[in-house]
Amino acid sequence: MHRIALAMLLAAAPVLAIADDVPAPLRPGAGQETVERICSGCHTTSYIRMNAPFLSEAQWKAEVTKMRQVFGAPIEDDEVAEILAYLIAEYGAPK
Amino acid sequence: MHRRTLMLGSGAALLGAREAAAAGALSDPGLPAGTREVAEMASPPGKVKLIRLTDRPPNYETPLEAFRTPITPNNRFFVRYHLAELPTMAELKDWTLTLGGDAAAGTAKLTLADLRRLPAAEVTAVCQCAGNRRGLFSPHVPGVQWSIGAMGCARWRGARLRDVLKLVGMKPEALEVRFHGSDHGPLSETPIFRKSLPMARALDPNTLIAWEMNGAALPLANGFPARIIVPGWTATYWMKHVTSIDITSAADDGFWMQKAYRVPHGVFPAAAPFPSQDTAQNSPVTDIVVNTLVTDPVADSRVHAGGFEVRGIAWDGGSGIHQVEVSIDEGKTWQTAKLDKDLGPFAFRAWRHPIARVAPGPVALRVRATANNGAVQPDQLMFNPAGYHNNAVRTVHVVAA
């Protein structure tokens, strides 16, 4: 339900008069597709790349929780672990 | 296992030497590596050579070179949005401003022509994002990783907000004035961007609803056709494309007032309180803190050992700049710079200082400003979890030859 809504939204994403339009590829890795699909619904995935690599596991967890609970990101319960594993592996603070 | 020395090639390496020099601050090693990779020079519609951090929503900062004049040109002025659905010029043609609220005595709907019929006022003021220099926080905190350029200074012209509020009148219980603009999130679940001011600030004669910036219409990305101007306060209150103004008897309890833009109590003393938004946990970000930016020489450049000039700008939240000092010995001794023309207490104040002969080799320039209210830039960052008000004294490293 949520997934379909978001996919439609992305397909229809208007070219904004104010911004130029640049693709923001994420790093290949397990979970990349899920993260690109969900985390580009409201903003470019550059928000992830820009905030790297300094967020700890706990901080990425807090970010994903914030996106879900505060901003209403349509993330299913069973997608959370995959998203977090990807963010921590590819964009987390060096351990 | 997945530990990486992140991001091959910094943003600067990708740009080519000339553009990298223009980007200047974005090759700053104090920024997160990922930010340096993402950042690129870009000229979105209506703008020339800004540093793009994100395109959706648009977040573009002004490069160092554009701060060599105390007025920032409209086409170099930074762009900051939280939410990605933006109004188009076509939609804004039919723009109206709705006035009301439970503590307003009446309601009204104004067109731009109605607004322009009110007495016009003008103020030169710095518009600075509260998160300017967040990217230079140590340790880093999440958010848009701004370097030095999420700010600008312009001559704003418009109606006084208090004259606009008078059109509807207010009841004795009026507590806050609340603004809403026409940008919103792609999903309706995201809290709408709404901000409020305490009554005293809303009625301050310097608080405007402006339709002009540096003698021209506001650029689309800076709030066309009208935005709120709150000289001395951070840009979060300067609502762009403002479409409704409500006089309310209750404190706004939206996310952008009560959860975002908050600082720990007592860390950043404010000239005037905003008591209706103080909570047990924290206070709202309000006044711009005293700060400086060195525009010349640029970090890592060569200077003449026989003597060179240090130049830059200084600003604060409206008390004005008392003095700017320069040190070339790690802060042991300070020399007083010469302040250029005063464009008013809310504006950038240009300054310059000649440095006499120095020994060839590395030179570390430190600059600090003192405001007329006595506030001085701190040596150390005043850390706060959301990354606001970074006004720590910075060091510009150059090489004398």
Q: Is A80 a residue whose pLDDT tops 80?
A: yes
What is the pLDDT, as a whole number, of residue A16? 45
Band (pLDDT 50/70/90 cuts) for residue B12 is very low
B291 strand-pairing partners = B315
Asked if B160 and B225 sit in the same domain, the reply is: yes
Taking the whole predicted model, whether its pTM rises above 0.95 is answered as no
Which of residues B284, B317, B335 is at a domain's end? Answer: B284
Whether B193 is covered by a domain: the verdict is yes
Asked if B100 and B153 sit in the same domain, the reply is: yes
How many independent structural domains does chain B possess?
3
Is A42 within 8 Å of B53 when comparing Cβ atoms? no
Closest-CA distance of chain A to residue B287, Å: 26
Asked if B271 and B198 sit in the same domain, the reply is: yes
Asked if B388 and B297 sit in the same domain, the reply is: yes
Is A42 within 8 Å of B187 when comparing Cβ atoms? yes
Is B38 within 8 Å of A53 when comparing Cβ atoms? no
What is the pLDDT, as a whole number, of residue A17? 56
Whether B64 is covered by a domain: the verdict is yes
**CA dist B348 to B71, B245, B249, B341, Å?**
7, 29, 36, 10
Residues 6+ apart with CB under 8 A from B360: B305, B400, B401
Band (pLDDT 50/70/90 cuts) for residue A24 is low
In chain A, residues with a C-beta closer than 8 Å to the C-beta of B2 are 89-90, 92
Asked if B298 and B315 sit in the same domain, the reply is: yes
Partner-chain residue, chosen from B37, B142, B190, that has the shortest CB–CB distance to A42: B190
What is the pLDDT, as a whole number, of residue B23? 53
- Give dist(CA B189, CA A44) in Å, integer: 18
Asked if B161 and B246 sit in the same domain, the reply is: yes
What is the pLDDT, as a whole number, of residue B175? 98
What is the pLDDT, as a whole number, of residue A20? 59
B302-303 and B395-400 beta bridge pairing: parallel
From the list B276, B259, B301, B278, the residue with the least C-alpha distance to B385 is: B259
Residues 6+ apart with CB under 8 A from B123: B155, B156, B206, B208, B229, B231, B344, B346
Once rounded to an integer, what is the mean pLDDT over residues A11-40?
A: 74
What is the pLDDT, as a whole number, of residue B146? 98
Percent of chain B residues past pLDDT 70, beyond the cut: 94
Partner-chain residue, chosen from A19, A59, A91, that has the shortest CB–CB distance to B56: A19
From A5-14, A63-72, B86-95, B143-152, the region with the lowest mean pLDDT: A5-14
Partner-chain residue, chosen from A18, A24, A54, that has the shortest CB–CB distance to B32: A54
* Full residue range of the structural domain in which residue B280 is found: 96-140+149-284
Asked if A18 and B220 touch (Cβ cutoff 8 Å), the reply is yes
Whether B359 is covered by a domain: the verdict is yes
- Give dist(CA B40, CA B365) in Å, integer: 27
Residues 6+ apart with CB under 8 A from B103: B170, B171, B173, B174, B175, B247, B248, B249
Whether B358 is covered by a domain: the verdict is yes
Whether B264 is covered by a domain: the verdict is yes
- Give dist(CA B205, CA B197) in Å, integer: 14
Asked if B126 and B263 sit in the same domain, the reply is: yes
The pLDDT tens digits for B132-142 are 999 999 999 99
Band (pLDDT 50/70/90 cuts) for residue B172 is very high
- Give dist(CA B139, CA B297) in Å, integer: 27
Whether B50 is covered by a domain: the verdict is yes
What is the pLDDT, as a whole number, of residue B82? 98
The residue whose two tokens read 């704003």 is B156
What is the pLDDT, as a whole number, of residue B211? 98
Residues 6+ apart with CB under 8 A from B25: B51, B63, B64, B147, B148, B149, B299
Asked if B250 and B117 sit in the same domain, the reply is: yes
What is the pLDDT, as a whole number, of residue A8? 37
Whether B88 is covered by a domain: the verdict is no
**CA dist B269 to B52, B329, B346, Å?**
32, 30, 17
Asked if B172 and B128 sit in the same domain, the reply is: yes
CA angle B157, B163, B164 (to 5 degrees): 85
Asked if B71 and B108 sit in the same domain, the reply is: no
| Residue-range domains of chain A with CATH | 23-91 (1.10.760.10)
In chain A, residues with a C-beta closer than 8 Å to the C-beta of B188 are 72
In chain B, residues with a C-beta closer than 8 Å to the C-beta of A41 are 186-187
From the list B315, B292, B306, B316, the residue with the least C-alpha distance to B365 is: B292
Is A17 within 8 Å of B220 when comparing Cβ atoms? yes
**Residue B175 dihedral angles phi and psi, to the nearest 5°:** -120, -45
In chain B, residues with a C-beta closer than 8 Å to the C-beta of A61 are none
- Give dist(CA B181, CA B190) in Å, integer: 15
The CATH number of the domain holding residue B303 is 2.60.40.650
Asked if B264 and B174 sit in the same domain, the reply is: yes
Closest-CA distance of chain B to residue A38, Å: 12
Which of residues B30, B53, B80 is at a domain's end? Answer: B80
Which of residues B267, B284, B301 is at a domain's end? Answer: B284
The CATH number of the domain holding residue B128 is 3.90.420.10
Q: Is A5 a residue whose pLDDT tops 90?
A: no
Partner-chain residue, chosen from A13, A19, A94, that has the shortest CB–CB distance to B3: A94
Asked if B128 and B275 sit in the same domain, the reply is: yes
Asked if B20 and B9 touch (Cβ cutoff 8 Å), the reply is no
The yes/no answer to whether this complex scores an ipTM above 0.95 is: no
Q: Is B18 a residue whose pLDDT tops 60?
A: no
Is A47 within 8 Å of B191 when comparing Cβ atoms? no
